[in-house]
Amino acid sequence: MLPILPSPTPTLSPAPSSSSNSLNILRLTPPSSSSDQISDPRSSGAPPMAVKVYVVYYSMYGHVAKLADEIKKGASSVEGVEVKVWQVPEILSEEVLGKMGAPPKTDVPTITPQELAEADGVLFGFPTRFGMMASQMKAFFDATGGLWREQSLAGKPAGVFYSTGTQGGGQETTPLTAVTQLTHHGMVFVPVGYTFGAKLFDMDKVQGGSPYGAGTFAGDGSRWPTEMELEHAFHQGKYFAGITKKLKGSSA
């Protein structure tokens, strides 16, 4: 630990390295004058750093991936927001996936838990298994213990979207039980609410989604997200990106 020195408080800077010693040695240097201070980029006219929104999903048959594509489009429509789509690692073998009739994985990059810390906000997507998130997504959350220990995700906004097989298959229980994962990380859950408007109240046709987030029904696998469900996903992406941008701006 460095000793307490009298005012003016010294700053630390690396001393030049020499060929005889490859280690960087810290030396004490006097504080810079006011004319040498680094100016705030917000006052110097420098462009602000982009807000990073990650869309992280698991999709076995492609329904959640389809929602993720629309969510990316919606989030990307917000100025100053940079969106990156990831998928979580698969935990089933190719043999098992083949017996389940799952198509080959897409070329969307696979995320590691540590990479979550780079995002300013994260939207998680997953299919339902008995009213809760699929085990692939749960396994990914189980691997984020290091981030929890370091509180790397605390304060970051997070949202969810999902797919179920039937109307009573978990359109609300799945996102509701997923909130426990976000809570333990100290993330800020951002539901889409009823900001999508009157279409959420349409009773003339079957439609997924809820105030928790965008959703779709897969049925036996042959039903794909409807136009309305994709619109809901686009809206959620745009809405979430706007909230994330506001939160990052207020903390800058």
Q: pLDDT at position 250, please?
A: 73
Give pLDDT tens digits for 46-98: 566 899 999 999 999 999 999 999 999 999 999 999 999 999 999 999 999 99
Residue 5 identity (one-letter amino acid) = L
Single pTM value for the model: 0.80
| Secondary structure letter of residue 21 according to DSSP | B
Strand extents, DSSP E, the chain: 11-14, 26-29, 51-57, 81-87, 121-129, 132-133, 157-164, 188-189, 215-217
> For 98-142, how does the pLDDT look when each residue is reduced to its tens digit (9 = 90+)?
999 999 999 999 999 999 999 999 999 999 999 999 999 999 999
Q: What is the CATH number of domain 50-251?
A: 3.40.50.360
Q: CA-to-CA distance for 92 and 53, rounded, in angstroms?
A: 28
Tell me the C-alpha distance between 226 and 6, whole Å: 68
Distance CA 34, CA 26 (A): 23
